[in-house]
Amino acid sequence: MADARPFHWEYHPEPPRPEAFRIEGGRPLRGTVHVSGAKNAALKLLAAATLTGERCRFENMPEIEDVRVMAETLTDLGVVVDHPGDGVYEVASGDVDWLFVPLEAAAKMRASFILLGPLLSRFGRVIISNPGGDRIGRRPVNLHVDAMRALGAEIQYRNGYYFAQAPGRLRGGEVTFPQVTVMGTENAMLAATLAEGHTVIRPAAQEPEIDDLIAFLRKMGAEVERTAPDTIEVHGRKRLRGADHAAMPDRIETGTFLVAGAVTGGRLTLENAACEQVGALVEIFGRVGVPVACGTTSIELDATGLRTGDLRACDIETAPYPGLATDIQPPTCVLLTQASGTSRVHEAIFEDRIEWLSELRKLGARIDIEDAHHASIHGPARLHGAEASIGDLRAGASLILAALAADGASLIHGAHHVHRGYENIDRKFQQLGASITRSAEPA
């Protein structure tokens, strides 16, 4: 029978080709940049659509690799995913062929684990790869598994996979985390929307993407509410309906471009951006001495009058929202290389988010790495072009910032990491006057 899926969209990605950015630094960025939809909202919205058999339509979705991987993962389950235009995805999970999320999906993207809650709650069973296993890095998912068990799931771990089932139906209950976890909160919340009874999640993470997800779930008819800053309560329903939603702006991208304007001595307007979503960074800008003007849906930054030595060093520490986002720590470190004095950095969330600073040193930054969570940045340091390699998404974007601020040419390997989470980042910088091109690594 002909494929009955209208506009069925085939996506069979080749592994991303290794690419490099060539950057000629020293040019102040000027102009207006439109902030794209949030990666860390979009991925969860797509997963949440599997809670209903009805069609859901999403707009303002970023055109990035991780969203394409999530769409492909859903397609491989048998979910109908249409991509009728840039930034638009339609999802219909009427039925699924397989309740299996393979290692390949987890290896490409840890966020595939967000499918555990919705698939378990909707279909009663799922086999899903462990994205935090020793085979592909750290980042455990024990808190997610504990949350599912608190809702009545039976989960066994065998050969790198979680075999999860919910005899009958998940039951609402108390989900109490020993520490804040963003996707743990989201997995528990998604599962609870179809569980029988009342669920209380605390401490619930407070990242704005979670409230964006709550807004979508409520459009689907879910009874979910943030009843206190660190508490989310859900009354389970038997079924949810399809709904439309536009992803919120990406606050990590907002922070990244704010730092880009500051370290290049530029003048930028960020559209589709909100200061309150990057409040901790705006506070640091105030301490360091970079002026920003907050509008309702835009932010203005003018660093054209700043001279070397004007910026003041300041200590930073990452924390769950509303603290400084760990994803904004790498760009903030680039800013601190230009501040006079010593800034102490405490990365309190992840143990593998300081080491990238050794790449930043290659561009002339003066940094002492004390341990997996602490470093000291001495400035101002005159950055110069260099060859460096990107290890992960956020560090990659930050090496671009440093190269844009540096005198001379840089070659930054691993550009494909950046395209996992930043939509058209090179084109956006080109439109602001930067000299940046992307090319395939020589074979």
* Binding residues vs ligand EPZ (CB under 6 A): 39-40, 43, 111, 139-144, 179, 181-184, 325-327, 349-350, 393-394, 421
Residue 217 vs 325, nearer CB to ligand EPZ: 325
CB of 298 to ligand EPZ, least distance (A): 23
The whole-angstrom separation of Cα 351 and Cα 138 is: 9
When the beta carbons of 75 and 181 are compared against ligand EPZ, the nearer one is 181
Helix extents (H) in 58-102: 65-77
Q: Within the chain, how many helices (H) and strands (E) appear?
A: 14, 24
Of the pair 192, 313, the CB lying nearest ligand EPZ is at 192
- Closest distance to ligand EPZ from the beta carbon of 261 (Å): 21
CB of 118 to ligand EPZ, least distance (A): 15
Tell me the closest approach of the beta carbon of residue 168 to ligand EPZ, in angstroms.
Answer: 25
Report the nearest approach of ligand EPZ to the CB of residue 385 (Å): 26
DSSP 380-422: ----B--EEE--SHHHHHHHHHHHHHSBSEEEEE-HHHHTTTS
Angle at 142 between CA 141 and CA 147, to 5 degrees: 105
Spell 355-377 as b/e; 16+ CB within 10 A means b. ebbebbbbbbbebeeeeebebbb
The answer to whether 377 touches 337, Cβ cutoff 8 Å, is yes
The smaller minimum CB distance to ligand EPZ, of residues 40 and 338, is found at 40
Residue placing its CB nearer to ligand EPZ in the complex, 141 or 381: 141
By beta-carbon proximity to ligand EPZ, the closer residue of 137 and 295 is 137
Q: How far is the CB of 291 from ligand EPZ (least distance, A)?
A: 27
**Residue 21 or 113: which CB sits closer to ligand EPZ?**
113
Range list of β-strands (E), 303-346: 316-317, 341-346
Rounded to a whole number of angstroms, the minimum distance from the CB of residue 382 to ligand EPZ is 29
Q: Extract the tokens encoding 88.
A: 């638009």
Name the token pair of 205: 């993470």
Q: Is-contact 202 158, C-beta < 8 A? A: no
At its nearest, how many Å lie between ligand EPZ and the CB of residue 249? 14
- Using only C-alpha atoms, the chain has a radius of gyration, in whole angstroms, of 22
What is the pairing mode between strands 88-92 and 316-317? Answer: unpaired
CB of 314 to ligand EPZ, least distance (A): 21
Q: Minimum Å distance from CB 209 to ligand EPZ?
A: 7
- Asked if residues 275 and 319 have their Cβ atoms less than 8 Å apart, the reply is no
State how far the Cα of 299 lies from the Cα of 285, in Å rounded to an integer. 13
Nearer to ligand EPZ, 302 or 327 (CB): 327
List strand residue ranges (DSSP E) for 295-406, in order: 298-302, 316-317, 341-346, 366-371, 374-379, 387-389
CB atoms within 10 A of CB 71: 22
Smaller CB separation from ligand EPZ, 21 or 422: 422
Cβ proximity to ligand EPZ, 163 vs 350, nearer residue:
350
Cα 136 to Cα 130: distance, rounded to the nearest angstrom:
9
